Structure 1
């Protein structure tokens, strides 16, 4: 029985997790065959099995006095190179399969940063949307009342993810501090005034563009004048757009679950500020953009991948860009796709990108800026010191440059083309696998 068959039989009914494993295995299994020591120690099989999975009940009381019940999770995938590290996601789509896929990907992503962080992921099927601050606080306090016993600065350091921003991190941290009676760096993504790092909110979006810049350096080009389509309008999309605009690129789309906007003249810094206020303050919908800027168009229920562009940045959610979308992008001149979200491209889309020699960068490499600065936040917490913005940004650039170099090292093909998917997967694998062999069968 081969490796993939064994993993599939052990994880029935978990399509997201199995998709992630299959996409990595495409490159790792041939690499293992060429390096038999990894095969003898069964490192890939061990990587695909979480060290620990915690599932728990989260009861809370809504503003009407009604008892509500959600389910909480923490998947502690790998601690071989450091404490478990990965976000908490609060969204109705959260399942064990989704979190196992995210934790599996996080292990490779954290390895690529070069920082001492293992892989983990957690969350709940709770939906913060439409809830009052008091309801979100009561839920977070109940969630942490169980989770606190499974995390710690040297054990597991969660962060935010979809549905978990500064507000939720604040409530979670406050409850942890109250229960444990200590102020420690147990969460990242904290407010700067109470232990957070500068540019943490910007880090994933900025890091995404820094990676794209590294690609262009290898081919002697710049982002100046390039047309970019972006999906999403949350944290990652906003800061990816901001950095793109600063680099002289032309961002023409953003989206939310209702549809996407297309601004042919380009989303300027002023227009982006409107989107940020709309989404972060007013909790509005992206369709309101065309009320303010009537020259733009709104496409309800659609995705932006039919718009001609040079670069596509999917920054919304998993499997948002399928094979049909990939064909549209390629036919319309797109040559670069970098994932701002986690696994936003389907298996069919990725296969087509690789077949057509598109520069495709998976999320484990392209969106590693967020967890990189989370790792820097952990360092600052240990030092009881806060670095200036410029220092954090410089270190982020260095880390992204190192990730790109790793991808090139393991992904350059005979004709000189760089397969970033191959490079990211093998590069992330090697560090974790070598540490597993060094530490024995654990």
Structure 2
């Protein structure tokens, strides 16, 4: 039995029932196999075994009162995976699907994503199975306060700096930060994604979506192409998706689809991004309301999906940007994308493509930007926010955006150069995983066993 197989078997025994975590680890280790065989230090120093076990896992109860005065109870998580390169860094997700396996997969991916940025950041993730949908503002505030009452003792500006994720936007970050400050009596950069008026960075809300588009821009440029005129499919209608749509439009592409939990919106003439932002960010309405202003658009409710598959991936287009959630894009969807002429896929979400879908993209030879590289813009600007907080400074939006664009260019360059080094030009899955792993693994060896 080879080293990778033994390691994966051991992981399944030690962490049972965590499918998403296994999937993330398998993708990384299968790519790393030749690296691990070529440099025996990584096996001799048990680097992989150490990376697979978080430095700390914090599970806690969150008890809070709803508007009727009833006590509600949720589970809370913070998994601090690796502090080798810097303070733990990774978002908080509030969603009913959250469990230990999902938080561990996200935290594991975060190690390599943060390493690829070249910035001094460790990897972590956290969240709760709390569902903000349908809750009043007061309920969300009370939940966030209860969540932070437990979490605050485990985080700090140079220890662990959480950010937002699904279900945790600027409003939730505000409530979390207010409670942290109340409990600790310090105004410090312990959370990122704060409002710009009190410590947040300009450009942070846009960063993941913008960064994803900048990564796609670099993928296309490597083969002498541009975004101009490209029809683009985008999933999701949250923060990442909306700002992916916005930057695509600014750079001359034509995004034609997006989706939310109610269904898929298709507007072949090109989506009205300003209207979408008004519907989803300001008024918090379902996508169907878009049709009130654009009768030539089509909305397909979830109930009408064929075999449960989202039609967002079955439109003819040149580029695809999965920006919703993990494993949303299946092997069947990938085959449809390739058949319909897609030349590139760039992931705005974390692990949104199944293993079958990734295999399809690699076989087809299309450009494929894996999430750990393509969606690193959010954490990159989070680190820029940390820099600004530490210096008690505020950068103009133009500086933040220029720095983000440079970071995404460097991430693509690192991943592309590493793929070339291993005789697999264009294979950014290999390039991103190997480049991220080597930066963390070499630092672990240099720092000794702890």
Please indicate, yes or no, whether the TM-score normalized by the shorter chain is above 0.5.
yes
| Structure 1 counterpart SS, 2:228 | coil
CA distance in 2, matches of 1:132, 1:329: 40
- The match for 1:371 is 379
Instruction: Work out which of the residue numbers 236, 257, 273 in structure 1 matches 2:261.
Output: 257
- The match for 1:392 is 400
Instruction: Work out which of the residue numbers 130, 137, 156 in structure 1 matches 2:134.
Output: 130
Gaps of 5+ in 2: none
CA distance in 1, matches of 2:107, 2:99: 12
1:287 aligns to 2:285 (yes or no): no
CA distance in 2, matches of 1:384, 1:202: 22
CA distance in 1, matches of 2:34, 2:270: 44
Tell whether the 8 Å contact from 2:332 to 2:357 is kept in structure 1 after alignment. yes
- The match for 1:183 is 187
Shift of 1:416: 6.8
Tell whether the 8 Å contact from 1:413 to 1:419 is kept in structure 2 after alignment. no
Shift of 1:147: 0.3
- The match for 1:16 is 20
| Structure 2 counterpart SS, 1:412 | helix
CA distance in 2, matches of 1:317, 1:415: 31
1:196 aligns to 2:200 (yes or no): yes
CA distance in 2, matches of 1:360, 1:221: 15
Shift of 1:331: 0.5
| Structure 1 counterpart SS, 2:113 | helix
1:405 aligns to 2:405 (yes or no): no
Shift of 1:431: 0.5
Question: What is the aligned-residue RMSD (CA, Å)?
Answer: 1.1
Q: How many residues align?
A: 439
- The match for 2:320 is 312
- The match for 1:94 is 98
Instruction: Work out which of the residue numbers 426, 432, 440 in structure 2 matches 1:432.
Output: 440
Listed as ranges, the matches of 1:318-397 within 5 Å are 318-397=326-405
Render the CA deviation track for 1:294-344: whole Å, top value 9, x for unaligned: 101112224200001110000000000000000000000011011000000
Shift of 1:92: 0.3
Listed as ranges, the matches of 1:136-155 within 5 Å are 136-155=140-159
CA distance in 2, matches of 1:157, 1:29: 32
CA distance in 2, matches of 1:413, 1:229: 32
Shift of 1:413: 7.2
1:298 aligns to 2:306 (yes or no): no
CA separation of 1:413/1:264 partners in 2, compared to 1, >3 Å: closer, same or farther? farther
CA distance in 2, matches of 1:114, 1:364: 13
Tell whether the 8 Å contact from 2:264 to 2:299 is kept in structure 1 after alignment. yes
- The match for 1:274 is 275
| Structure 1 counterpart SS, 2:393 | coil
Shift of 1:155: 0.5
CA distance in 1, matches of 2:198, 2:30: 43
Render the CA deviation track for 1:100-130: whole Å, top value 9, x for unaligned: 0000000000000011000000000001111
| Structure 2 counterpart SS, 1:122 | strand
TM-score (norm 1): 0.98
Instruction: Work out which of the residue numbers 85, 105, 110 in structure 1 matches 2:89.
Output: 85
Higher mean C-alpha deviation, range 282-291 or range 238-247: 282-291
Tell whether the 8 Å contact from 2:144 to 2:172 is kept in structure 1 after alignment. yes
Shift of 1:29: 2.0
CA distance in 1, matches of 2:187, 2:95: 28
Shift of 1:417: 3.5
1:49 aligns to 2:45 (yes or no): no
| Structure 1 counterpart SS, 2:390 | helix
1:6 aligns to 2:23 (yes or no): no
CA distance in 2, matches of 1:414, 1:88: 35
Shift of 1:144: 0.4
